[in-house]
Amino acid sequence: MNNTDFDNIVSEVKTSLDTSLNTENKNVLKNRKDSLLYVTLTKLLEFVQNPDEEALSLSLKNVHYKGVYSIPVRIGANNELGRFFFSTKKIPPMAVQFHSHKYDLNIIPLYGKIVHYRLYPADYPKSSSDCYCYDRYEYSSGLNGSGEMKCIDSYPYSMESNILPIGSFIKLEHSDIHTMSCSKGSVWYVEEVEYKSNKSYFLGLPFSTSKFYEKIEIEEAKNILENIELIILSLLENYKNEKCE
Q: Which of 104, 106, 107 is nearest to 195 (CA)?
A: 104
- pLDDT for the residue numbered 139: 84
- pLDDT for the residue numbered 8: 65
- Residue 32: pLDDT above 60? yes
Q: Residue 167 — very low, low, confident or very high, per pLDDT cuts 50/70/90?
A: confident
Q: Which of 103, 183, 107, 182 is nearest to 144 (CA)?
A: 103
Average pLDDT over residues 224-238: 93
Return phi, psi of residue 76, to 5°: -80, 180
Task: Name the residue with higher pLDDT: 164 or 237.
Answer: 164
Q: Residue 230 — very low, low, confident or very high, per pLDDT cuts 50/70/90?
A: very high
Domain ranges of the chain: 3-207+217-239
pLDDT, tens digit, 9 for 90 and up, residues 79-119: 999 999 999 999 999 999 999 999 999 999 999 999 999 99
- pLDDT for the residue numbered 201: 93
CATH 2.60.120.10 fits 3-207+217-239, yes or no: yes
CB atoms closer than 10 angstroms to residue 189: 24
Average pLDDT over residues 152-178: 93
- Residue 242: pLDDT above 50? no
Q: Residue 124 — very low, low, confident or very high, per pLDDT cuts 50/70/90?
A: low
